Amino acid sequence: MNSIQTDTIVIGGGIIGVSLAYGLIKHGSSVILLDREDQNLTASRANFGLVWVQSKGYGMPRYAEWCIEATDHWPVFSESLEEETGSKLNYENTGGFEICLGEEELAARVKFIEDMRMQSRNGQYEVSMLSRDELQKMLPKIALGNDVSGASFCRHDGIVDPLNLLRTFYQGFQKRGGDYRPGHWVEDIQKDGSGFLVKTPKQHFRAQKLVIASGLATTKLSNMVGMAVPVSPQKGQVLVTERTSKLFPFATGGIRQNANGNFMFGASHEDTGIEIGTSTDILKVLVSRALRIFPVLENLQLVRTWAGLRVLTPDQKPVYCESEEFPGAFAVTSHSGVSLASLHSDKLPEWILEGKIFPDFDVFHPRRFNV
């Protein structure tokens, strides 16, 4: 089979793969993006669209800083991507809540926020606690349920339309001449001189650099080029309602309202393997909680449910690494593919293309799982 030559091959057309592919081409590399067209929902088409900081990085302060850097870069990043493509991402730096029900949850949240502040390397973890009354004042259009006891608030958090984000990345990538190949399932990777030979049943490809961002397939593909990147699936079920007027212009872990006015609720955490069914029992738990927070939503029509698989490393923190055995091969995976999209596209290409080292970046190497 003939092969097609390029500078960089990215394997995986999820949000991480395409944000990197877009960034790489923007940084001057020619890029082919290979993607297995599958019917199963990838995480990137199932997620909640939060640009989220406040609970991230427990036990790894460098990750918390990385998340803050990412969210702080989001406004600039989204503006330039929108300008370039003419599409709307519906990103808003709304600030985000974690809303508590009952005193026990509130106490646990207070303690968690305090721990995060203690761990913070510069002591500036910007999350505050709000009383129920303070929270209600910030939400003049929607009444809180009786069980709401308070909330934590972080000004960095925001929301984006995750599906628009994905589409816009594709547009931006292709506009800059990127070569997107859906329906290309990478089955084998081989060392090829100083570069790599990547094989799919339809076509072979060659490149000097290779980025593996293949969601749940990252472990298997990374293995082919000497990297051990453990990831496993975790199912999350999500619900979406009909459109309604703008009542809740904030981000929270379990409830958000889209730019179109649809409410979304989610997401469950289930270890059910590679399977994306929805189940009424779990959906009821998610919605019951949402209705305890905002009882007035009771009459909204539910129009859709779905489930997707999170891509989780053992400590749920990202992996960024270059193969020691085969330099030029990189693996990237994260459970915050949306939140980190700004840095994945605008910053990581410097590391991949120019070998730039960011401070303490080594904490993200998967060798941390070997101890």
Partner 1 sequence: MQVPEYDLIIIGSGPAGMAAAVTSRGQGLKVLVLDEQPTAGGQIYRNIEHLELHRNPEFKKLGRDYSEASGLVKRFKNCGADYLSGMTVWQIEKELVVRVVHNSPGQDKKSPLSFKAKKILIAVGAMERPMPIPGWTLPGVMACTAVDVLYKSAGIVPKGTVVLAGAGPLLLLIATRLLDAGVKISALLNTNPQNALLKALPHLPSALRTPEYLVKGAGMLLKLRTSGVPIHFGIRSIEAQGKENLNRVRFVSSKGTQTVDADLLLLHQGVVPNVQITRLLGCEHQWYESQRYWEPVLDEWGNTSVPGIAVAGDCGRVSGSKVSELSGHIAALETARALGALSESKRDEQASSIRAELKKQQASRPFLDTLFEPQKSWIVPEDEATMVCRCEEVDVGEIRNTVRLGAHSPDRVKAMIRSGMGFCQGRMCALTLSEIIADELKISPADVGYLRVRSPIKPVTLGQLVSSE
Partner 2 sequence: MFKKLPQNGEKVSIDFEGKRLETVTGQTVAAALLGSGEMLFRESAVTGQPRSVYCMMGVCFECLLEIDGKPNQQSCMILVQEGMKIRRQQRPIMENHASA
Ligand X SMILES: Cc1cc2nc3c(=O)[nH]c(=O)nc-3n(C[C@H](O)[C@H](O)[C@H](O)COP(=O)(O)OP(=O)(O)OC[C@H]3O[C@@H](n4cnc5c(N)ncnc54)[C@H](O)[C@@H]3O)c2cc1C
Q: Which is nearer to partner 1, 111 or 284 (CB)?
A: 284
Q: Of how many residues is the chain composed?
A: 371
**How distant, in Å, are the alpha carbons of 116, 143, 161, 242 from that of 300?**
36, 15, 21, 7
- Which residues, at least 6 apart from 344, have a Cβ–Cβ distance to it below 8 Å? 16, 19, 20, 23, 332, 337
| Region from 24-32, 138-146, 190-198, 271-279 binding partner 1, contact rule CB under 8 A | 271-279
Residue 186 carries which DSSP code?
-
Q: Which is nearer to partner 1, 35 or 65 (CB)?
A: 35
User: In the complex, what is the shortest distance from the CB of residue 163 to partner 1, in angstroms, rounded to a whole number?
Assistant: 5
How many of the chain's residues bind partner 2 (CB under 8 A)? 20
- Is position 272 an interface residue for partner 1 (rule: CB under 8 A)? no
| Region from 29-37, 87-95, 123-131, 240-248 binding partner 2, contact rule CB under 8 A | 240-248
- Give the number of other CB atoms < 10 A from CB of residue 128: 12
Q: Sign (positive/negative) of CA torsion 276, 280, 286, 291?
A: positive
Q: Which does 245 bind (CB under 5 to 8 A by kind): partner 2, partner 1, ligand X, none?
A: partner 2
Q: Sign (positive/negative) of CA torsion 309, 314, 317, 319?
A: negative
| Region from 93-101, 107-115, 331-339, 350-358 binding ligand X, contact rule CB under 6 A | 331-339
Q: Which is nearer to partner 1, 89 or 116 (CB)?
A: 89
Q: Which of 129, 142, 291, 363 contacts partner 2 by CB under 8 A?
A: 142
Q: Which of 88, 141, 202, 367 contacts partner 2 by CB under 8 A?
A: 141
Strands 158-159 and 50-51: antiparallel
Q: Which does 266 bind (CB under 5 to 8 A by kind): partner 2, ligand X, partner 1, none?
A: ligand X
Torsion of CA 363, 366, 368, 371, to 10 degrees: -170
**How distant, in Å, are the alpha carbons of 8, 172, 306 from that of 37?**
20, 20, 19
Q: Which is nearer to partner 1, 88 or 137 (CB)?
A: 88
- Is position 46 an interface residue for ligand X (rule: CB under 6 A)? yes
Q: Which of 21, 29, 48, 312 contacts ligand X by CB under 6 A?
A: 48
- Is position 242 an interface residue for partner 2 (rule: CB under 8 A)? yes
Q: Which does 238 bind (CB under 5 to 8 A by kind): partner 1, partner 2, ligand X, none?
A: ligand X
User: In the complex, what is the shortest distance from the CB of residue 241 to partner 2, in angstroms, rounded to a whole number?
Assistant: 10
Q: Which does 136 bind (CB under 5 to 8 A by kind): partner 1, partner 2, ligand X, none?
A: partner 2
Rounded Cα–Cα distance for residues 161 and 106 (Å): 29
- Give the number of other CB atoms < 10 A from CB of residue 336: 23
User: In the complex, what is the shortest distance from the CB of residue 137 to ligand X, in angstroms, rounded to a whole number?
Assistant: 26
- Which residues, at least 6 apart from 199, have a Cβ–Cβ distance to it below 8 Å? 186, 187, 188, 189, 190, 205
- Please spell the DSSP secondary structure of 81-142, one letter per residue: HHHHH------B---EEEEEEHHHHHHHHHHHHHHHHHH-SSS---EEEEEHHHHHHH-TTS
- Is position 12 an interface residue for ligand X (rule: CB under 6 A)? yes
| Region from 39-47, 118-126, 200-208, 291-299 binding partner 2, contact rule CB under 8 A | 291-299
Binding site for ligand X (CB under 6 A): 11-17, 34-36, 38, 42-44, 46-50, 52, 185-186, 213-215, 217, 221, 236, 238, 266-267, 308-311, 333-339
Binding site for partner 2 (CB under 8 A): 136, 139-144, 242-245, 247, 260-261, 294, 296-297, 299-301
